[in-house]
Amino acid sequence: MTIADGFSIAFALLVLNAFLGGNRTASRAALILSILLLPLPVFVHSHPVPRGMLAFVLVLVFMRAVDSAFGVVPTTFASRLGAAVAWLALIDIEVRSRRLPHFNRGAARDLATAAVAAVIACALWPLVASWPFPLRYILRSACAGVIFVAFAESLSSLVKIVSGTLGVELNPVQNEPHLSRTVVEFWSRRWNLVAARWFRMYFFVPTLSRGVTVALVSMFTVSALMHAYLIVAIDRRAAISWAMFFLAQPIVIVAERRLGVRAWPPAAGRIWTLAVFVALLPLLVKPVLPLFGTSL
């Protein structure tokens, strides 16, 4: 099977889920089909990166199918299809409020700042290649974090700019994750808010009656499995590494609660959060860097 065939099947499945989303029984049948098609990237003959992109689309289609089967969905097919397509970019197109069309200057500044930060991080990457191992490793991990956050903030800013010109306010994509004072705040209130809502609704809240720790482990275990799935078609060892990144999060969160990080001064809390992610981010970054001819 070619990669084009794989993407055709994935997008056909997306449309089918949107079409059947108005009926609970039919949408649950579509959810079962979404689960059955998750192994599709294994059967595609292509470069590893396009197969990883196909896995990304399929897992988002699966998440949307869960919403259709158990959550609240738009009433019309066109609305459901629009929401599903936006979901592929992790954008929630539900309108929070309407206002006069305007150009969001704050979002434009944020976009420019994110772009400059990403350029600086990319420029620093080769410059530290000859530096001693510990320092180079830390700096490149920090650069990778900057690039991740800059990309996310760019998407969030673009959504604000476009929606502002259309005279609507959408739910935010991100909420300035670089300002997080705790790891809990990062995951629950600032990073990838569409996915955060999904994990909270379907895994955290249903298990919360068994205790916060159980709920955290449940949510991040599912997240670990889903992120491992995203990359297993590219590299199995990378899949294990990605899973370890997310499985480490409940441990860190429990530790920061016992340390009382939330009560620390804001600057100290941000240093803590930054240090945690610089320490753990290599689990995400290191396994995929050889695909781009570089390393930490």
The SS3 call for residue 191 is coil
Round to whole Å and give the CA distance between 64 and 44. Answer: 23
pLDDT for res 293:
83
Q: Give pLDDT tens digits for 260-282.
A: 999 999 999 999 999 999 899 99
- The answer, yes or no, to whether residue 240 has pLDDT greater than 90, is yes
Instruction: Supply 178's token pair.
Output: 């670089």
pLDDT for res 97:
80
Q: Bridge-partner residues for 169, per DSSP?
A: 97
Instruction: Supply 285's token pair.
Output: 């970054």
Round to whole Å and give the CA distance between 269 and 254. Answer: 15
| Total-model pTM | 0.90
Instruction: Supply 199's token pair.
Output: 């994990």
Per the listing, tokens 């350029």 go with 119
Which residue type is seen at 76? Answer: T
Q: Are 5 and 44 in contact (CB under 8 A)?
A: yes
pLDDT for res 291:
77
The SS3 call for residue 102 is coil
Q: Where are the beta strands (DSSP E) in 29-183?
A: 95-98, 168-170
* Burial state string for 21-60 with b = 16 or more CB within 10 A and e = fewer than 16: beeeebbbebbebbeebeebbeebebeeebbbbbbbbbbb
Q: Give pLDDT tens digits for 84-141.
A: 999 888 888 887 788 888 899 999 999 999 999 999 999 999 998 889 988 898 889 8
pLDDT for res 258:
93
